[in-house]
Chain A
Amino acid sequence: MPQHSPARFSGDFPPFSQRHLISIADLKQHEIVDLLDRAERMIEISRQERKSLPTLSGKTQINLFFEPSTRTQSSFEIAGKRLGALVVNMSVKTSSVSKGETLVDTAATLNAMRPDVLVVRHSAAGAVELLSQKVGCSVVNAGDGAHEHPTQALLDALTIRNHKGTLAGLTVAICGDIANSRVARSNLLLLGALNVRTRVIAPRTLLPAGIENLATEVFTDMEEGLKGVDVVMMLRLQHERASGKMIPSVREYYRFYGLDEAKLSHAKPDAIVMHPGPMNRGVEIDPAIADGPRSVINDQVEMGVAVRMAVLDALLPARNEA
């Protein structure tokens, strides 16, 4: 048994070997499981009346969002604050970047403020990685273009594990705009690393090239793709961008790829329904399902805070103890 110290919650776990969390692809299986186990403990903390741990006390966390996202930013903010960090939110859309400052300049400026962790969301794939090369602190990817959104995949896995008891032997279907989804990529990598069977379901125009060569089954017929699955993961459709080019209309999309009772009936009777949010009710999902008994969408939000607490807790002591 590792020595228990009430002040150092993370002391219950072996030191985490990563400095940044940029991509699920960088994590080994045991590191994923370790983060999920840490998050499990964070759920307990978050459900207490006194929802705090002092592990990040005295540390500075900057949430640097080049792309607005109220829910992800709030989730990281709450996670940091529950761990005692000083949390600063920076929405960059309106500040220096629009004045021609490059990402690398921004990184240098922020680095000089000596943060301990940067949580970064950017619209370009690879931007968070680039930034991580230019700063001296830990960096957490809160979503970079269509590349990855690692904490989303972790919170999804935690949600599934809590509802199903285990991830082993399950089949997960991911449905919708796979081509433009960082959530889909991170989930495929994470579930693949834990040997969970995955399927992707989308019209051909929303499937990225070469997806059939990733370890996943590809379906263009939703009813067929949902047959016998344990988990249905819906993705948000950016219908303003897709309409007229990738799909003809929202109503046709809903008819063939929107999750309604008829299609969901092909999944296992106890299948759960997930969505990373924000939802387009009536575009990719029937409101009755989104708010119905099989929906675990609100649980995902709760797991999100726990997972982000776990990630911050794992990354920060790892450096100081090294």
Chain B
Amino acid sequence: MTRPLIIDNARIVDPASGTDQVGAVLIEDGRISDLAIGGPAGVPEGAEVLNADGLVLAPGLIDMRVFVGEPGKEYRETLASAGEAAVAGGVTSFVMMPDTTPAVDDGALVDFLIRRAQAQSPARILPAAAITKGLQGKEITEFGLLKDAGAVCLTDGAQSIQSTSLLRSAMGYAANFDMPFVHHLSDAGLTGEGVMNEGLFATVLGLKGIPREAETIPLARDLQLAALTGVRYHAAQISTAGSADLLETAKSRNNKVTAGISINHLCLNENDIGRYRTYFKLTPPLRTEDDRQAMIEALNSGVIDTIHSDHDPQDTEVKRQPFAEASNGAIGLETLLAAALRLLHSGDVALTTILRAMTCRPAEILGLETGRIARGTPADLILIDLDYPWQVSEKSFRSRSRNTSFEDARMQGKVMRTIVGGKSVFMHEDAA
């Protein structure tokens, strides 16, 4: 039995209940046992009291899109290193993409990951299961058995399924088991050999472009199939204004449709590529500033439900290459919250909107009991200093990989303490 913990004098921001008030939270046996909003807390006998004056207390972040190298590419990231990186960034739970070697397309592997993560990772790791065997886009996996084993959703990770008929049957079968269906959008033909956003900048760099239609055309298809099959459909990540328009229309008719975005597409644009900086080579590609502004608007209007890190560890071997030959992806667990707070400090997005997209919305989509501050829920909590100044340095990363798109970036705001299941798993060195 651990001692009860009271976090007192915190600014409690809980998007699920709409709370934004000073108050206290009592944690007992890994769960939130009591809340005192607006007033002082009664202190039970023997409780440890943490004065969180000046800090925001929010639900721990839930990151819906994280790639881990284990099993198969442990030199890039392990469950342990990903978990350490997560809690340092305020992420208490994350969905692990099935893009491993072998791919997570079998119940036994889901079971293995859950057990191993519990033993090794300070963050909760929620395995996603592959939609198709080996992520090959050809045959569907055993959705029912995968769900029984503990997979929280279905996705082919970084792969985009091209066959319309296969998608139809996969969505139908997923609806049968009420599994969230998360799909990355990329038309293989239109993407072709493209490596960045199509437009003037790609032309100047002499790089092949990826048109916006490589995202909007498969999205339009998916939204129609989602309506046809009744599946709980989540567009994994969008990057263009056209996608936001399609989603807005679809969501007005179908409440089982949701959409996510990576923090990169809210904070960066194609100009960040500069002269072939491969840490900015992402999928979908970074678009123009106009697209970024449209994405912020879509987040504010609720068309975009969730923000994730798209944490994708890659070693220098595959990144220190000519742009067209380099791998996609950037790490992001440790910079997710700070980067998102840029939107707060710039006046673009309210704090509750930012936190909602990383707490209760993903929890609702995935059917989790976390993501909120309420009596009886697991005590997955973070304390944030919204103004803490710091500079991103690859040397301080807990991730095994270094491919950050925020190297040397100046940030304002940091997680001071991360609590998972009532246990402090991360404390910043400057935490009071």
* Residues of chain A whose beta carbon lies under 8 Å from any beta carbon of chain B: 25, 102-104, 122, 124-127, 129-130, 144-148, 182, 185, 208-211, 213-214
Q: How far is the CB of A201 from chain B (nearest CB, A)?
A: 16
Q: Are A125 and B321 in touch, CB under 8 angstroms?
A: no
Question: In the bound complex, what is the Cα–Cα distance between A145 and B207 (angstroms)?
Answer: 8
Chain A to chain B: the 9 pairs with minimum beta-carbon distance, closest first: A210-B200, A147-B206, A126-B276, A124-B322, A146-B206, A125-B206, A127-B322, A208-B203, A126-B323
CB-CB under 8 A from A214, the residues of chain B are 200, 203-204
Q: Are B321 and A103 in touch, CB under 8 angstroms?
A: yes
Contact of A209 among B199, B275, B317, B324 (CB under 8 A): B199
Q: Known: A124-B322, A209-B199. Is A185-B206 also a contact (CB below 8 A)?
A: yes
Residue B202 interfacial (CB < 8 Å): yes
CB-CB under 8 A from A122, the residues of chain B are 322
Q: Are B322 and A125 in touch, CB under 8 angstroms?
A: yes
Q: What is the interface of chain A mostly: helix, strand, loop, or mixed?
A: mixed
Q: Are B205 and A102 in touch, CB under 8 angstroms?
A: no
Q: From residue 198 to 238 of chain B, which have CB atoms closer than 8 A to chain A?
A: 198-209, 211
Question: In the bound complex, what is the Cα–Cα distance between A127 and B276 (angstroms)?
Answer: 9
Contact of A130 among B200, B203, B211, B322 (CB under 8 A): B322
Q: From residue 315 to 359 of chain B, which have CB atoms closer than 8 A to chain A?
A: 317, 320-325
Contact of B206 among A103, A130, A182 (CB under 8 A): A182
- Using A145-B322, A145-B324, A210-B202 as known contacts, list a sample of 12 further A-B pairs with CB atoms less than 8 Å apart, ordered by residue number in A: A25-B204, A103-B321, A125-B207, A125-B322, A126-B276, A130-B321, A147-B205, A147-B207, A209-B209, A210-B203, A211-B203, A213-B200
Q: Are A146 and B207 in touch, CB under 8 angstroms?
A: yes
Q: How far is the CB of A182 from chain B (nearest CB, A)?
A: 6
Q: Are B317 and A126 in touch, CB under 8 angstroms?
A: no
Q: From residue 267 to 325 of chain B, which have CB atoms closer than 8 A to chain A?
A: 275-276, 317, 320-325
CB-CB under 8 A from A213, the residues of chain B are 200
CB-CB under 8 A from A208, the residues of chain B are 202-203, 209
Question: In the bound complex, what is the Cα–Cα distance between A148 and B203 (angstroms)?
Answer: 11
Which of A145, A182, A208 has the most B CB atoms < 10 Å from its CB? A208
Q: Are A209 and B205 in touch, CB under 8 angstroms?
A: no
Which of A122, A124, A126, A209 has the most B CB atoms < 10 Å from its CB? A126
CB-CB under 8 A from B207, the residues of chain A are 125-126, 145-147
Q: Are B198 and A209 in touch, CB under 8 angstroms?
A: yes
Contact of A126 among B201, B211, B322 (CB under 8 A): B322
Contact with A along B380-415 (1 / 0, CB 8 A): 000000000000000000000000000000000000
Which of A25, A102, A104, A209 has the most B CB atoms < 10 Å from its CB? A209
Q: How far is the CB of B300 from chain A (nearest CB, A)?
A: 29
Q: Are B205 and A124 in touch, CB under 8 angstroms?
A: no
State which size class the interface on B falls in: 20 to 34
Question: In the bound complex, what is the Cα–Cα distance between A145 and B324 (angstroms)?
Answer: 10
Q: Are B320 and A126 in touch, CB under 8 angstroms?
A: no
Q: Are B324 and A125 in touch, CB under 8 angstroms?
A: yes
Q: Known: A125-B276, A209-B200, A214-B200. Is A145-B317 also a contact (CB below 8 A)?
A: no
Question: In the bound complex, what is the Cα–Cα distance between A93 and B411 (angstroms)?
Answer: 45
A-B CB contact pairs (8 Å), 5 listed: A127-B322, A130-B321, A146-B208, A147-B206, A213-B200
CB-CB under 8 A from B203, the residues of chain A are 185, 208-211, 214
Chain B: which residue is nearest A211 at the CB level?
Answer: B203
Q: How far is the CB of A71 from chain B (nearest CB, A)?
A: 21
CB-CB under 8 A from A127, the residues of chain B are 322
Which of B203, B207, B317, B320 has the most A CB atoms < 10 Å from its CB? B203
Question: In the bound complex, what is the Cα–Cα distance between A272 and B354 (angstroms)?
Answer: 61
Chain A: which residue is nearest B201 at the CB level?
Answer: A210
Q: Are B323 and A102 in touch, CB under 8 angstroms?
A: no
Q: How far is the CB of B194 from chain A (nearest CB, A)?
A: 10
Q: Are B205 and A125 in touch, CB under 8 angstroms?
A: yes
CB-CB under 8 A from A25, the residues of chain B are 204
CB-CB under 8 A from A130, the residues of chain B are 276, 320-322
Contact of A104 among B199, B208, B275, B320 (CB under 8 A): B320
CB-CB under 8 A from A185, the residues of chain B are 203-204, 206
Chain A: which residue is nearest B324 at the CB level?
Answer: A124
Q: How far is the CB of A206 from chain B (nearest CB, A)?
A: 12
CB-CB under 8 A from A211, the residues of chain B are 200, 203
Q: Are B275 and A129 in touch, CB under 8 angstroms?
A: yes
Question: In the bound complex, what is the Cα–Cα distance between A144 and B275 (angstroms)?
Answer: 13
Q: Are B199 and A210 in touch, CB under 8 angstroms?
A: yes
Question: In the bound complex, what is the Cα–Cα distance between A61 and B24 (angstroms)?
Answer: 71
Q: How far is the CB of A47 from chain B (nearest CB, A)?
A: 35
CB-CB under 8 A from A124, the residues of chain B are 322-325
Q: Are A125 and B209 in touch, CB under 8 angstroms?
A: no
Question: In the bound complex, what is the Cα–Cα distance between A211 and B201 (angstroms)?
Answer: 10
Q: Are A148 and B200 in touch, CB under 8 angstroms?
A: no
CB-CB under 8 A from B204, the residues of chain A are 25, 185, 214
Q: How far is the CB of A112 from chain B (nearest CB, A)?
A: 18
Q: How far is the CB of B134 from chain A (nearest CB, A)?
A: 24
Chain B: which residue is nearest A186 at the CB level?
Answer: B206
Question: In the bound complex, what is the Cα–Cα distance between A214 and B200 (angstroms)?
Answer: 8
Q: Are A102 and B321 in touch, CB under 8 angstroms?
A: yes
Question: In the bound complex, what is the Cα–Cα distance between A182 and B207 (angstroms)?
Answer: 11
Question: In the bound complex, what is the Cα–Cα distance between A122 and B323 (angstroms)?
Answer: 12
Q: Are A125 and B317 in touch, CB under 8 angstroms?
A: no
Chain B: which residue is nearest A23 at the CB level?
Answer: B275
Q: Are B317 and A102 in touch, CB under 8 angstroms?
A: yes
Question: In the bound complex, what is the Cα–Cα distance between A125 and B194 (angstroms)?
Answer: 12
Question: In the bound complex, what is the Cα–Cα distance between A211 and B275 (angstroms)?
Answer: 19
Q: How far is the CB of B56 from chain A (nearest CB, A)?
A: 41
Q: Known: A145-B324, A213-B200. Is A129-B276 also a contact (CB below 8 A)?
A: yes
Question: In the bound complex, what is the Cα–Cα distance between A125 and B200 (angstroms)?
Answer: 15
CB-CB under 8 A from B205, the residues of chain A are 125-126, 147
CB-CB under 8 A from A147, the residues of chain B are 205-207
Chain B: which residue is nearest A126 at the CB level?
Answer: B276
Chain B: which residue is nearest A144 at the CB level?
Answer: B206
Q: Are B198 and A125 in touch, CB under 8 angstroms?
A: no
Which of B206, B208, B211, B275 has the most A CB atoms < 10 Å from its CB? B206
Q: How far is the CB of B95 from chain A (nearest CB, A)?
A: 32
Question: In the bound complex, what is the Cα–Cα distance between A1 and B318 (angstroms)?
Answer: 53
Q: How far is the CB of B8 from chain A (nearest CB, A)?
A: 52
Question: In the bound complex, what is the Cα–Cα distance between A194 and B198 (angstroms)?
Answer: 28
Question: In the bound complex, what is the Cα–Cα distance between A40 and B278 (angstroms)?
Answer: 39
